[in-house]
Amino acid sequence: MRLSPLNRRRLAIFCQHRRGFWSFWIFLALFLFCLGAEFVANDRPLIISYNGKHYFPVLFDYSEDTFGSEFLPTEADYTDPDVQKAINSRGWMIWPAIPFSYNTSVKNLSSPAPSPPDWRNLLGTDDQGRDVLARVIYGFRISVLFGFSLTAISSIVGIAAGAVQGFYGGAVDLLFQRFIEIWSGMPRLFLLIILGSIITPGFWVLLIFLLVFSWMSLTGVVRAEFLRGRNLDYARAAKALGVSDIGVMWRHILPNAMAAVLSFLPFTLSDSVTVLSTLDFLGFGLPPGSPSLGDLVAQGKNNLQAPWLGITSFVVLGGVLTLLIFIGEAVRDAFDPRRIPK
Amino acid sequence: MSSAGALLDVRALTKHFPVHAGIFGRTTGYVHAVDDVSFTVIRGETLSVVGESGCGKSTVGRAILRLTPPTAGEVWLGAQRIDNMHASELRPLRRRMQVVFQDPFSSLNPRMRVREILAEPLTNFGLARGASEIDDRVAALLDKVRLPREAMHRYPHEFSGGQRQRIGIARALAPQPDLIVCDEPVSALDVSVKAQIINLLSQLQDELGLTLLFISHDLAIVEHLTHRVAVMYLGKIVELADRRALFAQAHHPYTRALLSAVPVPDPLAKRQRMILAGDVPSPIEPPSGCRFHTRCPFVFDRCRKEEPLLRVVAERHLSACHLGEAN
């Protein structure tokens, strides 16, 4: 794809923004690494060779009697010493780098949970004896995926709403603005607490609930861009050429409004991550037991005698948000028409 | 003037913009941008609408194209009345009337290549299908406006103002319209480029039999390409005449003042300037009687009370002035 000169210039500015540029690559590497969390931290081996046949327990479930007729036909528990002995006697298995999943209770802890970092649990365990590093990896993934989903969907809704408002203006705009003013005054945290007392919100319920409020963050910018854009001569010309309203919005105004929107997105993303962490910290977020950064912060707060919990959560959450903010700054600068690449 | 053979017939076109004030945004008045404007444009001719800024000439163009809905009046394109048509009915008719805007920098989408800009009307009205047919049509359009064919792969910002205006004209030509509204198409250009664009427009008119509604504030420009001229002041047409008649024997004092302001490229030429005192009155509360009476050097009592109507002062020459009117 050939980049337009404008986009090439933006890319150049982004690359020159050292801090943002490196943050972007670090974030991307961490994200891709955590996307494969199952292959990095899991309580199932990656590959088992048993009786000359290969098994991939990370991808497929096997019943325990696969590995010997003395076992029951239930799901295999690879942490069971008997199962391990049986497999090792007639084959071999390769474990992931961290042989715990986010919900694995580590057995034979050297000290009562939360136990401090050692060579087996590099970041220690939490108060339920689960490996903190594994939880951080899974937690990072779920936080970022949640943030991405929330940002993406609320951007689509927000852009559509802002576009309609700005393009049609007049009474539509007026009513919509008043609605947004009222709607944004709703206390979403309290509503979420009420919701949480009725049902246990899962990933999607939480996403939809937060979406109901977060779409408004972009409408203002998009509306302003469309109010400006609809009066530009090329938008008028398009109308005179018989282009439909949606065509004018989609092909003529939106591409020129996207600069303002895109420079907002990294900040929206970091907001989304923060919101999820806040809710998890308060206990109104993802179901109990889910790996999440907010849950880790809560554990750090409840177990001050185990500083590795608090420190880990601080470093991870602070790190993620810092990276996102740095990326956001670089993107914002890249879309700043007044900045000239050196 | 008969309306037979008229391509465009504008009858008592009026456009008022509401003025809002106060915390509740009550409508406290109206800007009388266009008031009771009527004229016809005959197929193949150029009618220029001339007036100073704020006189409503651009609004006339926009209202005809339905880019702003008119407040009252009728607009007929051929045998069809288009001012009250539903937007969906109007869309196919938009093929027949196109527009060239003043500012060649804002009238082209900076994110589209010239090919996409020119292909949009073609695909939109189903005039060309398939990439190769579009390429051919776009190339032909670029030829028409005397731009190199390679231009189609470039972005608008790679062109000069005059070249961009050519692209704008090519876009207007793309759906093969009958009527093109040129809304000050050369005001933003350098003098030498102005001449090129004016020449291009009159050549295209000859080649394609276009009908032009040419909106301008510059009588000197208009003189070169127009057949008839309508002079507007504060939302009203004050004089409407053939070019020759208007430039030789302007009737309305405002037209005469405008004509005397046209620069003459001869430093020794003796000129009688007719300089108007004061500013254009507010179009929110236009003056009573003749709208020009506040600045007219020949004002008399009747002008303040009674609004002059357009009347025939000579053959094919209308003027709205009480001067020389038989009582």
* pLDDT above 60: residue A242: yes
Q: Does B308 touch chain A (CB under 8 A)?
A: no
Q: Cβ B101–A236 below 8 Å, yes or no?
A: yes
pLDDT in tens, A267-300: 888 888 888 888 888 888 888 788 888 888 888 8
Tell me whether residues B111 and A241 touch, CB distance under 8 A: no
pLDDT at A284: 82
Interface contact flag, B124 A243, Cβ < 8 Å = yes
Residue B3 scores a pLDDT above 50: no
Instruction: Give the distance from residue A235's alpha carbon to the nearest chain B alpha carbon, in angstroms.
Output: 8
Amino acid at A231: N
pLDDT at A342: 64
Phi, psi of B311 (to 5 degrees): -135, 160
pLDDT on residue A2: 67
Question: Helix, strand or coil for residue A35?
Answer: helix
CA distance A283 to B314: 89
Contacts of A241 in chain B (CB under 8 A): 94, 98, 120-121, 124, 171, 174-175
- The per-residue pLDDT for B148 is 92
Instruction: Report how far residue B175's alpha carbon sits from residue B156's, in angstroms, rounded to the nearest whole number.
Output: 20
**Which residue from B65, B106, B175 is facing A234, i.e. has the nearest CB?**
B106
Share of chain B above pLDDT 70, in %: 98
Give the model's confidence band at B1: pLDDT under 50 very low, under 70 low, under 90 confident, else very high: very low
User: How far, CA to CA in Å, does A135 sit from each of A45, A103, A269, A293, A309?
Assistant: 18, 8, 21, 8, 11
| B82 interface with A at CB cutoff 8 Å | no
Is residue B70 within 8 Å of B63, Cβ to Cβ? Answer: yes
Nearest-Cα distance to chain B for A334, in Å, is: 17
Q: What is the pLDDT of residue B166?
A: 93
Residue B92 touches partner A, C-beta closer than 8 Å: yes
Q: Across the interface, do B91 and A232 touch by the CB < 8 Å criterion? A: no
Element (H, E) at A209: helix A203-214
* Residue A118's pLDDT band (cuts 50, 70, 90): confident
Any chain A CB within 8 A of the CB of B214? no
Q: A67-76, A183-192, B138-147, B152-161 — which one is most confidently predicted on average?
A: B138-147
Would strands B97-100 and B228-233 be described as parallel, antiparallel, or unpaired? unpaired
pLDDT of residue A180: 92
ipTM of the predicted assembly exceeds 0.85: no
Chain B positions touching A239 (Cβ under 8 A) are 67
Best residue in B93, B102, B111 to probe A by mutation, most A CBs within 10 Å? B111
Give the whole-angstrom CA distance, residue B104 versus residue B148: 18
Mean pLDDT computed over every residue of chain A: 85
Structure tokens at A171: 């009474």
Structure tokens at B219: 């009588």
Give the closest-approach CA distance of A238 to chain B in angstroms. Answer: 8
Evaluate if residue B321 carries a pLDDT over 80.
yes
Report whether pLDDT(B232) > 90: yes
pLDDT digits (tens, 9 = 90+) for A144-189: 999 999 999 999 999 999 999 999 988 889 999 999 999 989 888 8
Q: How much is the average pLDDT of B231-244?
A: 92
Which of B91, B95, B107 faces A237 most closely, judged by CB atoms? Answer: B107
Q: Residues B292-300: what's their mean pLDDT? A: 88
**CB atoms closer than 10 angstroms to residue A185:** 8
CA distance B225 to B243: 9
What mean pLDDT do residues B117-132 have?
A: 87
In whole angstroms, what is the distance from residue B18 CA to residue A171 CA? 14
B121 touches A at CB < 8 Å = yes
B101–A242: do the CB atoms touch at under 8 Å? no
Q: What is the pLDDT of residue B111?
A: 82
In terms of Cα–Cα distance, which of A69, A79, A71 is closest to A101?
Answer: A79
Which residues 1-40 of A are in CB contact (within 8 Å) with B?
A: 4-6
Is the link from the previous residue into A114 a cis peptide, with omega within 30 of 0? Answer: yes
Q: What is the pLDDT of residues B10-30, one digit of tens each?
A: 999 999 988 887 777 778 888
pLDDT of residue A341: 65
Nearest CA in chain A to B122: A241
Instruction: Name the residue among B253, B255, B260, B232 with its Cα closest to residue B297.
Output: B253
pLDDT in tens, B263-294: 777 777 777 777 887 788 888 888 888 888 88
Give burial (CB, 10 Å; 0-12/13-18/19+) of A314: middle
Tell me which residue in A240, A244, A247 faces B99 most closely, judged by beta carbons: A240
Quickly state the pLDDT bin for B85 (edges 50, 70, 90).
Answer: confident
Residues of chain A contacting residue B67, judged by C-beta atoms under 8 Å apart: 236, 239-240
Confidence of residue B2 (pLDDT cuts 50, 70, 90): very low
CA distance B75 to B82: 6
Single-letter amino acid, residue B70: P
Quote the pLDDT of residue B211. Answer: 92
B94 → closest Cβ in A4, A240, A247? A240
Q: Which of A41, A99, A110 is nearest to A291 (CA)?
A: A41
**Could you tell me which chain B residue has the CA closest to the CA of A234?**
B107
Q: In whole angstroms, give the CA distance from residue B128 to residue B226.
A: 32
Q: CA–CA separation, A161 vs B294, rounded Å?
A: 49
Mean pLDDT of B55-69: 89
Nearest-CB residue to A240 (from B67, B108, B109): B67
B91–A244: do the CB atoms touch at under 8 Å?
yes
Compute the nearest-CA separation of A234 from chain B (Å). 4
Residue B13: name the closest of B30, B44, B34 by CA: B34
For B125, which of A237, A242, A256 is closest by C-beta distance?
A242
Interface contacts A/B by beta carbons within 8 Å = 62
B155 touches chain A (CB under 8 A): yes
Which of A4, A233, A251 has the CB atom closest to B103's CB atom?
A: A233
In the predicted model, is pLDDT for residue B262 greater than 90? no
Query: Averaged over A7-18, what is the pLDDT?
Result: 86
Model confidence, pTM:
0.77
**Residue B171: closest CA among B223, B250, B251, B113:** B113
Q: Would you state the structure tokens that stand for residue B36, as one six-digit string?
A: 């009771």
The string of DSSP letters for B187-252 reads TTS-HHHHHHHHHHHHHHHHHHT-EEEEEES-HHHHTTT-SEEEEEETTEEEEEEEHHHHHHS--S
Residue A240 pLDDT:
83
Mean pLDDT of B287-304: 88
Cα-based angle A19, A25, A27 (whole degrees, multiple of 5):
95
Q: Could you read off the pLDDT of A74-115 as tens digits, one per residue?
A: 887 888 888 888 888 888 888 888 888 888 777 777 777 787
- Tell me the nearest-neighbour CA distance from B60 into chain A, angstroms: 15
The residues, any chain, with a CB within 8 Å of residue B310's CB and separated by 6 or more, are B38, B237, B240, B318, B319, B320
- Dihedral sign for Cα B126, B130, B135, B136, please: negative
* Sign, CA torsion B289/B290/B293/B297: negative
